[in-house]
Structure 1
Amino acid sequence: MTTLLVAHGTRNPRGVAMIGDLAQAMARRLDDDVRVGFVDVLGPDPREALDGIRGSEPVRVVPAFLAGGYHVYSDLPGHLHQATRATLLAPALGPDVALADALLARLLLAGWHPGDPVVLAAAGSRDHRAQADVAAMGRLLTRRVGAPVRIGFVLPAADGSGFPPVAEVVEALRAESRPGTRIAVATYLLADGLFARRLHDAGADVVGAPLGLHAAVVELACRRAQSVATPPLAVAAR
């Protein structure tokens, strides 16, 4: 059964390559053909990607998003309903305990030490469902680092909803902490790009890399694909 991995899209070539590499890693793990589509910035979009897949059996669609929101609940389903074949739509990647494991691993590689305050940095969304998912991810990471994790958005909503800018959260933590305390940022982004680069200017001492091809991420994406292998969960094309 063919799988379609759908990501947001970025103009950063490294970010685009990472999504392609994730699809290849999934293909090896699933022993399956895994294609890629994007909902924004570049193509192919999900409908175009689906139309390029031969055969008539349903295609498993895995949203490569770390939280629900407009793209997961409205944009992507809209593309699928315009396609010419049936699809099996999996849940978004996050929140999940596997991502907490990957975030902790990225922090450790960046030089985080237990006791360093941590900020979970997410892309940002006005959608309350996405905000709730990020809050849930913060709680999962809190269990991993053994201390409360603050949350900040790389791009906060213009209406002030959601979480404050990452730089503000880092600054507040520094003001509350003893002199010399190191502040760490856990990058809750899948791929490299403009948002990931901005985090290095947020004033933190340690910045974890994007989740990328961490083994836990690859395994999670495969589990999402396998979770919709039965017809009752199909999203039928019109």
Structure 2
Amino acid sequence: MTLVVVAHGTRDPRGAAVIEEIAALVRARLGDVPVEVAYADVRQPDVTTVLGRVDGPAVVVPAFLAAGYHVRVDVPQQITASGRPDVVVTEPIGTALLPVLRERLREAGWQPGDAVVLAAAGSSDPRALADVTAVARAVSAEVGYLATASPTVPEAVAALKAEGRRVAIASWLLAPGLFHQRLADAGADVVADPLGAHTRVVDAVLLRYYEARCFLQVA
């Protein structure tokens, strides 16, 4: 049963390299299970194209941190366009990755007492924003968005700086790209790396795959 890992897509080759690394690590853990990479936007191949060359049932795992427009609309539409009735799409992987977020903050130089801004991509979907807010609460952070929603990351950083606090940015992004590049100019004292090809990211993808595989076998 093929696993298709779906990422947002970026023009930054470093971002694509991280997604391929995650897929390679998943592939190594699954042994003889085919693992493919697809993109919801920006890059090719898209989900429709990948499913068109896959034999047999497939599980599509959105490697997204929140269930926004791409997860709820783009990916299902691309699956429908493939004409494949034997495909199941899972929930995104974000909820399992809080330990990675904390680890990246510590690696970047976060210190006890630092104010934290959770930098997220942003969405027009209130459900995705609610996902981000829940993560921010879990790490006692203020939310800042890089697009679509407000406050922006620089605004959130500036508000905390005005209180005389040292500020760390927790990057709620999976891979490097344009969004992460912007964080360097947001005015924070510390900027954490994206989550990247961490073991827990691989675990989260595998968990979604096994859950869906059980569903397909029972259905």
* 1-structure distance, mates of 2:211, 2:185: 39
Match of 1:100 in 2: 98
Match 1:205 to one of 175, 186, 189:
189
1:119–1:170: 8 Å Cα contact kept in structure 2?
A: yes
CA change 1:122–1:233 in 2 (3 A) is: farther
Q: Say yes or no: does 1:168 pair with 2:167.
A: no
The offset of 1:163, in angstroms, is 3.0
The offset of 1:135, in angstroms, is 0.7
Match 1:185 to one of 169, 187, 205:
169
Q: Say yes or no: does 1:217 pair with 2:209.
A: no
**CA deviation string 1:15-40 (max 9, x = no partner):** 01111111111111222221001111
Q: Which runs of 5+ in 2 are unaligned?
A: none
* 2-structure distance, mates of 1:134, 1:163: 12
**CA deviation string 1:24-78 (max 9, x = no partner):** 111112222210011111211101011122x22x101000111011111111101
1:154 is aligned with what amino acid?
Answer: L
* 2-structure distance, mates of 1:51, 1:69: 25
Match of 2:144 in 1: 152
1:88–1:233: 8 Å Cα contact kept in structure 2?
A: no
* 2-structure distance, mates of 1:89, 1:133: 19
Question: Secondary structure, in 3 states, of the residue corresponding to 2:118?
Answer: strand
Question: Secondary structure, in 3 states, of the residue corresponding to 2:162?
Answer: helix
2:98 is aligned with what amino acid?
Answer: A
Match of 2:216 in 1: 231
1:75 is aligned with what amino acid?
Answer: D
Match of 1:10 in 2: 10
The offset of 1:84, in angstroms, is 3.5
Instruction: After superposing the two structures, state which structure 1 stretch, 189-198 or 130-139, moved more.
Output: 130-139
* 2-structure distance, mates of 1:45, 1:38: 5
Question: Secondary structure, in 3 states, of the residue corresponding to 1:65?
Answer: coil
The offset of 1:140, in angstroms, is 2.2
Match of 1:145 in 2: none
* 1-structure distance, mates of 2:79, 2:218: 14
Match of 1:69 in 2: 68
1:192–1:210: 8 Å Cα contact kept in structure 2?
A: yes
TM, length-normalised to structure 1: 0.87
Match of 1:134 in 2: 132
The offset of 1:232, in angstroms, is 7.2
Q: Which runs of 5+ in 1 are unaligned?
A: 143-148
* 2-structure distance, mates of 1:193, 1:34: 23
**CA deviation string 1:83-135 (max 9, x = no partner):** 143212110112x1x31100110000000011111000001111111101111
Aligned length: 216
The offset of 1:233, in angstroms, is 8.5
CA change 1:121–1:220 in 2 (3 A) is: same
Q: Say yes or no: does 1:90 pair with 2:90.
A: yes
Instruction: After superposing the two structures, state which structure 1 stretch, 80-89 or 167-176, moved more.
Output: 80-89
1:38–1:45: 8 Å Cα contact kept in structure 2?
A: yes
1:26–1:221: 8 Å Cα contact kept in structure 2?
A: yes
Question: Secondary structure, in 3 states, of the residue corresponding to 2:71?
Answer: helix
